[in-house]
A and B are shown apart, each in its own frame.
Chain A
């Protein structure tokens, strides 16, 4: 008898957790059905693959943002950081000149190195400067953005070597076993992110830090190190997103990555991570990024929304999707 009671107890608990984590997926399915009703073209394989592929940049960046936000921080500089990293990467590729894999490898290393350094900068100022992350990253957002404007002299930074561009192009447009490379990239990033957040002591420390800093400090969590590391992870994620972004259009402009920070934060919140910290849901975040891109796609595919009202309907859909999620929680 005791056994039975125990079993149902455990089962019940497990089921409850699943429902919470599942709700972004439910919202995704509901949206997909809505999309299919609005326009049958929505369900074509090419459209679905386009949309999921396009969400890769925001999804990858948002995985990093999940760490920062779960740890009680915030990073507004990611869009500008992506633009700067893309700009510097292209300039590096242009100055190296050769059209071979080693050139690409160096360019990629530069991109990851730079974005990690940007993240380190953010992290150090937040921790050692003891300034609100909102202000710090608002500042670096402006700095990164003007640096890319300055590098481009207000124009466009474009990959000059045509052969190199063709060599690099498959990283966005290519696919492995029918799955586009960017989708594989963001699944891998999310898997690694989930592993770090859920299965390592560092991940536990991040969540502890986000739920209560004082308690975490007294429990011996190395606060400064953990916090700085979350910003570095965010930086590296931005770098990886740039590696997938650059081959798409082969250029960076002063408007590259504009408002990506908001999209990333929205994806994180839709995914079920609390904006105040203490909870982190990597897979939810990824689904959140896909939902954002899906809503935009449905808007263009629909025939009855005037182009003037797209923003309003998009906003309403996101709010309704969140309400549906909440009601699913409460129902359990």
Chain B
């Protein structure tokens, strides 16, 4: 039950050779964590990892208090920031609902001298943040594309897009860039809204339309599950594998168990909140420099490293 990202962050603190809590005298630090409420699978994972990490950090650093607060929308999150500031906090870790709405509230918090860590979605004004921890969407597409080039070598691929957003565009355009010059060809693309039902329908239609599909880039684990069901119904044998993304536990389990259709997955870990919290805590308890930008790699998850990405207790 250990968040890998957290371990890495703690290790980073330790490796600098600076003594952690053991030497430091009893110090009272309060870290507030403001995240979106669990409105879909990924944010559900964020909430879970934030709560787990809060417990672990409080155990590891004596005198540390971590307050985790979830909000159902951007406006509520801005209010939540006000409420958190009313209690005296030393640092704020925030995964903003959206950049525009939360830039000013975060700036107000900063003015009080609070240490700010921003996660995943950047604020409009980067000078507000002391630490920025982000996932890597272009890399997410690149890693997936490289997997197709390395493992399929040549053939026809259908692509599932999410919801029309910058995230989706970065992923898909870099996926296609990674395929350039290889024998792998994208024969069709459709939006399926990161939704299982929509992916099921689109895949049924792809199967009617294309007599030969060699592999599927579902680009998301929820969509991959819908795709799998459609393939199973059509009893088609031509599809060699389906590649999802994000690291949902059901899919990681399939990778671990060596499922032929799901040989790999690409991570976009909700546990990045743990990394952010770990680095923030280390800022107060070590003398190592922590300020800066941390871009987490989109990792290829295969049978060999699936265990590190498997959190059976997480809702995601």
Q: Name A residues whose Cβ lies closer than 8 Å to a Cβ of B.
A: 39, 41-42, 44, 46-47, 50, 54, 149, 152-156, 158, 173, 248-249, 251, 253-256, 258, 296-297, 300-301, 307-308, 310
Contact = CB atoms under 8 A, between A and B. Distances in A.
Interface stretch (B9-17, B35-43, B56-64, B74-82): B35-43
B38 A253 contact: no
B111 interface: no
Nearest to A50: B204
Contacts of A253: 40-41, 195-196, 222
Contacts of A41: 208-209
Nearest to A258: B195
Which residue, B164, B201, B316, has most C-beta atoms of chain A within 10 A?
Answer: B201
Contacts of B250: 156, 158
Contacts of A300: 190, 202, 205-206, 209
16 contacts: A46-B208, A47-B208, A149-B38, A152-B315, A156-B316, A248-B200, A248-B229, A249-B200, A251-B196, A251-B225, A253-B41, A255-B194, A255-B195, A255-B196, A300-B202, A307-B191
A255 B198 CA distance: 10
A182 to B, nearest CB: 12
A256 B197 CA distance: 8
Interface of B: 37-41, 43-45, 47-48, 161, 164, 189-191, 193-197, 200-202, 204-206, 208-209, 222, 225-226, 229, 233-234, 248, 250, 314-316
B290 to A, nearest CB: 29
A155 B45 contact: yes
A149 B70 CA distance: 14
A329 B206 CA distance: 37
Given A44-B208, A256-B197, A307-B161, A153 B225 contact: no
Contacts of B248: 156
B234 to A, nearest CB: 7
B287 to A, nearest CB: 38
A117 to B, nearest CB: 25
A203 B201 CA distance: 35
B170 to A, nearest CB: 16
Contacts of B233: 173
Contacts of B316: 154-156
Contacts of B201: 54, 296-297
A251 B40 CA distance: 14
Which residue, A54, A152, A155, A249, has most C-beta atoms of chain B within 10 A?
Answer: A155
Contacts of A310: 190-191
Contacts of A308: 164
Contacts of B45: 154-155
A145 to B, nearest CB: 9
Given A155-B41, A155-B44, A249-B196, A301 B208 contact: yes
B41 A156 contact: yes
Contacts of A153: 38, 44, 47-48, 315
Contacts of A42: 208
Contacts of B41: 154-156, 253-254
A296 B200 CA distance: 13
A249 B198 CA distance: 11
Contact of B225 (A249, A255, A258): A249
A154 B38 contact: yes
A307 B206 CA distance: 13
Nearest to A42: B208
Contact of B47 (A39, A154, A255): A154
Given A249-B200, A253-B40, A307 B189 contact: yes
A155 B247 CA distance: 13
A288 B195 CA distance: 23
A310 B195 CA distance: 17
A293 to B, nearest CB: 8
Contacts of B39: 149, 154, 254
